[in-house]
Structure 1
Amino acid sequence: MTLGRTLIRLCAILITMQASSALAEMFTFEPLRTAQIPDPEQSILAPEAPTAVIYGSADIGAFSPVIEAFQQENPFIQIEYHQLQTLEMYDLTLTQRANGEANADLIISSSMDLQMKLANDGYATSHQSTQTQALPQWARWRNEAFAVTQEPAVIAYNRAFFREHGIEPPRTRNDFFELLTKHDDLFNEKVTTYDIERSGVGFLFLARDERFFPGIWDFVRILGQSKVKLYSNTSPMLEKIADGQVVLGYNLLGSYAETFSHRNPNLGVILPDDFIVVYSRIAIIPRAARHPELGARFLDFMLSIKGQSVLQNDGNFNPVRSDVPQSPFSSLIFDRYGERVRSFPVGPGLLVYLDQSKRERFIRRWQDALLNRR
């Protein structure tokens, strides 16, 4: 089903979340079929279609194909998909638990560290199936936290701008640094990346950079000198690069960038030649889920060969399972660049990124580098 047809089916409602003043979007996918009641007079007493409530940070346009594919196999189930910021999702889960309210049936977040904290603190229930067992060991923890995608950080650029000025886009972080140093006037206010103070994904990407790129803080300083534009979400950065408001982006989410480039050929996407940071969306079934069996059913579908294939082919979310045929984009990452991939294993090691003192020191260093304070 195309996105246009999907949006016709979607019922989008703005709702105010209890744990945040921010607005989140809720998308309702009606069941494809309803149970037939033999006696029409009894139809008013018929139970409503079971509804699986999912909290997720993925854009609805990228995630709706897997919901629709799930409903093809489960036509009597209605889906409520709440598209939330990752911190908002985390806070809402804590608040609902504290108030004795039911949680969602499944939570899928791009903030790996926050998801692991929920699992580690006892907010996730255990689930084991043939589909979860098919995951590689690094992609599951105690049968409570499961990686469902693999997504790289990429460099994105405006093709027309680089052609016009006769320069090559950067293939490595050192190339990026040298480009901004050599052409500081050309790229002034024309570069963008995540604001790591507001973006959990951006924070994780940069923290991984620090481990594998010795020149990261000089790199951030040159971003500051270029008056880098900071955003908390990927989509506005991609849109601004494509239309030329900015022309170069660093550490953008590859799944969205690759999809966007198919619609707008002016957006170029580069997998860095030095190393590629790859993170995963993590799914958990909350202990206080309304219908944990529905959450488990949706999770198993996402982790099945069919579900992983839909996520890959229709959303550019690279699969976690090794037995799923790879798309050209996935093959490029894991076959051609396999030794250069730097992933995040699912496990308590992710909690280091939530250590408050370490996090504050990291952000202070980020702020100082951006402002060119030594």
Structure 2
Amino acid sequence: MITRLAALLIALSAPVARAEPEAVSRYGDDAAARSLLVRGTTDIALFDQLLDRFAARFPDTRITYEQWGSNDLYAVTAAECETGGPAADAVISSAVDLQVKLVNDGCARSHRSPLTAALPDTLNWRDELFGITREPAVLVYKRDMVPANEAPRSRFDLIDLLRPEDSRYAGRVATYDIEQSGLGYLFAFLDSQQATTFGSLIEAFDRAGAVATCCSAEIIDGVVSGRYLIAYNVLGSYALARAAEVPDLVVVAPEDYTLVLARAALIPRGARDPESAGQFVDFMLGEDGRRAMAAERLIIDFTDPDPDTGSFYYPSGNQSAFRQIPLSPVLLVGLDRQKRALFLERWRETFTRY
């Protein structure tokens, strides 16, 4: 009998014939001479301004943007690479370890420009993978649901909240289901490597019946509605966007350390219009593209992270607390089949009570 773990591993490595995007949006003139297909994990609403600006800058190019889940996006991109047929022109994912794997497997084209050359080594791997955003992994809660004397500022604080057997946070702390979310898996695996608190955190999640569920937006909505009291390891871009709408929502970049994600863009080997794809990569890295993404909080400046949102707590005096996730082969460690199976088994055993 194939176990759930084995089935997941097979699904990640096998071509996906029936996978479909979650949503599709189009930009520019339908009669434009060139056509660009971009696939990404970023919600369309967050990329809407970026894509509108690109279409205005390059009126001879029409853009189709497909929004995908990270695991399905990896699977369909890997399948197109394996068959050697036509592929999307650009692929952008928050599951950057899966992007590194695609590059490592020879599924990406090289692209060089002054803008890519200006990237730090952590955000440019082999001139084939480029970091385009700056987003922290954060904690989220509501002021009216979590008293000030219990408000967590670190993983140590969160563990303390979950420690009592009668903790009122039992069953009301949520994080990613890492079997369904490539980004969730990445964050959790990096936690296991970086945090001395990881063992205690997992035990606390188990003891208090933490909830594993889908997607930053869904988890944050659960906090807003009161279903959950605290969200752990969700993306700051989504959290800050909601905090601008919900004054009581508080976003915390943990002071013990904060993982910082750069969504990674690549041009597939089978891209139909690699020249336009290169223009799109450069646009994202240029001033107009960065301004559009900063407006959606996809790029956060920790010296002035969000002047419109006064509910963002971050270790401003300790820049070493921010740990950039590098685009490098080091991320492949978590994708090793045996390591992944063992890690998933440990993680799933934690989330069994609720």
What range describes the TM-score normalised by the shorter chain of this pair? 0.7 to 0.9
% same residue = 33
CA apart distance, 1:329: 4.3
Partner of 1:90: 74
Correspondences of 1:341-360 after superposition (within 5 Å): 341-360=322-341
Partner of 2:305: 328
CA distance in 1, matches of 2:82, 2:106: 13
CA contact (8 A) 1:20 1:88 kept: no
CA contact (8 A) 1:220 1:370 kept: no
Partner of 1:362: 343
CA contact (8 A) 2:209 2:352 kept: no
CA contact (8 A) 1:54 1:105 kept: yes
Partner of 2:138: 154
Q: C-alpha root-mean-square deviation of aligned residues, in Å? A: 2.4
Query: Structure 1 residues 188-197 or 236-245, which shifts more?
Result: 188-197
CA apart distance, 1:70: 1.2
Secondary structure in 2 matching 1:58: coil
Query: Structure 1 residues 17-26 or 271-280, which shifts more?
Result: 17-26
Secondary structure in 2 matching 1:250: strand
Q: 2:248 aligns with which of 261, 266, 269?
A: 266
CA deviations 1:95-149 (Å, max 9, x no partner) are 2234443101100011111111111111111110011111112210111111111
In the alignment, does 2:122 pair up with 1:138?
Answer: yes
Partner of 2:299: 318
CA distance in 2, matches of 1:249, 1:301: 33
Partner of 2:269: 287
Partner of 2:171: 189
Secondary structure in 1 matching 2:145: helix
Higher CA-based Rg: 1
Correspondences of 1:227-266 after superposition (within 5 Å): 227-266=209-248
Secondary structure in 1 matching 2:108: coil
CA apart distance, 1:296: 0.5
CA contact (8 A) 1:275 1:340 kept: yes
Partner of 2:7: none
| TM-score (structure 1 length as normaliser) | 0.83
In the alignment, does 2:2 pair up with 1:25?
Answer: no
CA apart distance, 1:333: 5.9
CA apart distance, 1:371: 5.0
Partner of 1:109: 93
Partner of 1:9: none
CA contact (8 A) 2:212 2:351 kept: no
CA distance in 2, matches of 1:174, 1:255: 23
CA distance in 2, matches of 1:152, 1:189: 25
Unaligned runs of 5+ in 1: 1-16, 35-47
CA distance in 2, matches of 1:128, 1:325: 28
CA contact (8 A) 1:145 1:283 kept: yes
Correspondences of 1:8-23 after superposition (within 5 Å): 19-21=17-19
Partner of 2:46: 62
CA contact (8 A) 2:96 2:264 kept: yes
CA distance in 1, matches of 2:324, 2:218: 25
Unaligned runs of 5+ in 2: 1-14
| TM-score (structure 2 length as normaliser) | 0.88
CA apart distance, 1:49: 3.4
CA apart distance, 1:30: 3.1
CA deviations 1:144-201 (Å, max 9, x no partner) are 11111121110000221124xx643111111111112247441122110111222111
- CA distance change for structure 1 residues 184 and 49 in 2, over 3 Å: closer, same or farther? farther
Amino acid aligned to 1:228: A
Amino acid aligned to 1:342: R
Secondary structure in 2 matching 1:132: helix
Q: 2:320 aligns with which of 335, 339, 344?
A: 339
